[in-house]
């Protein structure tokens, strides 16, 4: 219910903010003068903006299982699987969330991720490379980090943020398209063209604007994702121990510095992996050194 309420409030907030900005700038009258319904454009932007991100959230678990050929541990077949299930169960009990599905996927990369549409329908997946390259205590830190992502509701929050930004991108890229079209056509546009609002300038301008605004939106999403990594690390330190989490990150750093393999079969899950190789503004993860330092300096 809390997530549904958050979704509803987010939609309302987006509508209110856009309406205030548009009316304050007098864009609603200007949009109408170009034969485009302001209300229709706003509703279309909202529907398109949220539908993609919410659909991705709903199928995220199903998609991850198929993209990575994850073998879910229904009945533990060996001591490693039994230990994984027991560790995640203990951590989720501490976090106060339901037990997620746990699975293993075949990959030489040392990584893990959490996904799912809600806390009640989540998945924690670890790679075979992680189990082979990390000590048991370090893997426990990694698992705690993924459980923290689920407990913090990061999958849902990231989807809502993406939906909000998508709405703004679509709406304002169309306005920029109308502006470009108006500048190109000038006073030579006849009445029929003016009412259609579908000149070539509109399509080119809106397309270019959508690409540019989309890149800016990606910067915001990735910056937020990096903040959530610090939060997940901190919670993992409470669920397991600071030493376990620091040890896991230090091991990941050693592996990456040695040329560890990066497996990105599903780019949409990158934000929820324990580690990512890139260290720039478009990275979903902060540098490992920064994460280690934050844990070591935490009170």
Where do the structural domains in the chain lie, given as residue ranges?
1-299
Angle at 63 between CA 62 and CA 64, to 5 degrees: 95
Check residue 299 and give its pLDDT.
60
Can you give the pTM of this predicted structure? 0.83
Q: Which residues of 208-232 are buried (b: 16+ CB within 10 A; e: fewer)?
A: ebbeebeeebeeebbebbbebbbeb
| Paired residues of 115 in beta bridges | 123
CA distance 264 to 283: 13
Contact present, 195 and 35 (Cβ < 8 Å) = yes
CA distance 113 to 133: 16
Q: Please identify every residue annotated as catalytic.
A: 146
User: Mean pLDDT over residues 219-225, rounded?
Assistant: 92
Residue 172 has pLDDT above 50, yes or no: yes
Contact present, 208 and 156 (Cβ < 8 Å) = no
Q: Where are the alpha helices (DSSP H) in 240-287?
A: 242-257
Q: In 3-state terms, the chain is what percent helix, strand and coil (to 5)?
A: 70, 5, 20
Contact present, 156 and 114 (Cβ < 8 Å) = no
CA distance 260 to 277: 9
The phi and psi torsions of 112 (rounded to 5 degrees) equal: -155, 160
In the predicted model, what is the mean pLDDT of the chain?
85
Residue 213 has pLDDT above 70, yes or no: yes
Token look-up 């899950």 returns: 269
pLDDT tens by residue, 259-294? 655 565 655 566 566 766 555 777 888 999 999 999
Higher pLDDT residue, 297 or 18? Answer: 297
Closest by Cα among 295, 269, 292, 276 to 124 = 269
Check residue 194 and give its pLDDT.
47
Higher pLDDT residue, 46 or 1? Answer: 46
Residue 138 has pLDDT above 80, yes or no: yes
């Amino acid at each position: 219910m809390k997530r549904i309420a958050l979704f509803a409030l987010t939609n309302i907030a987006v509508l209110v903010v856009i309406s205030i900005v548009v009316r304050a700038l007098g864009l609603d009258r200007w949009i109408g003068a170009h034969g485009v319904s302001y209300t229709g454009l706003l509703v279309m932007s909202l529907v398109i903006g949220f539908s993609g991100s919410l659909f991705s959230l709903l199928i995220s678990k199903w998609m991850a299982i198929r993209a990575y050929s994850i073998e879910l541990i229904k009945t533990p077949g060996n001591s490693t699987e039994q230990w994984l299930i027991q560790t995640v169960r203990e951590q989720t009990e501490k976090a106060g969330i339901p037990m997620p599905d746990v699975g293993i996927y075949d990959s030489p990369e040392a990584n893990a991720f959490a996904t799912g549409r809600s806390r009640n329908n989540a998945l924690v997946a670890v790679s075979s490379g992680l189990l082979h390259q990390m000590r048991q205590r370090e893997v426990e830190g990694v698992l705690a980090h993924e459980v923290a992502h689920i407990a913090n509701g990061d999958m849902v929050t990231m989807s809502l943020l993406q939906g909000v930004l998508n709405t703004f991108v679509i709406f304002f890229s169309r306005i920029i398209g109308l502006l470009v079209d108006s500048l190109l056509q000038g006073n030579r546009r006849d009445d029929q063209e003016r009412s259609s609002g579908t000149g070539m300038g509109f399509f080119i301008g809106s397309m270019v604007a959508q690409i540019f605004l989309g890149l800016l939106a990606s910067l915001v999403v990735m910056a937020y994702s990096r903040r959530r990594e610090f939060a997940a690390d901190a919670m993992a330190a409470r669920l397991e121990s600071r030493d376990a989490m620091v040890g896991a990150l230090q091991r990941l750093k050693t592996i990456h510095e040695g040329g560890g393999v990066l497996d990105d079969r599903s780019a949409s899950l990158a934000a929820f992996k324990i580690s990512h190789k890139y260290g720039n503004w478009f990275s979903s993860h902060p540098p490992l050194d920064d994460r280690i330092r934050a844990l070591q300096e935490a009170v």
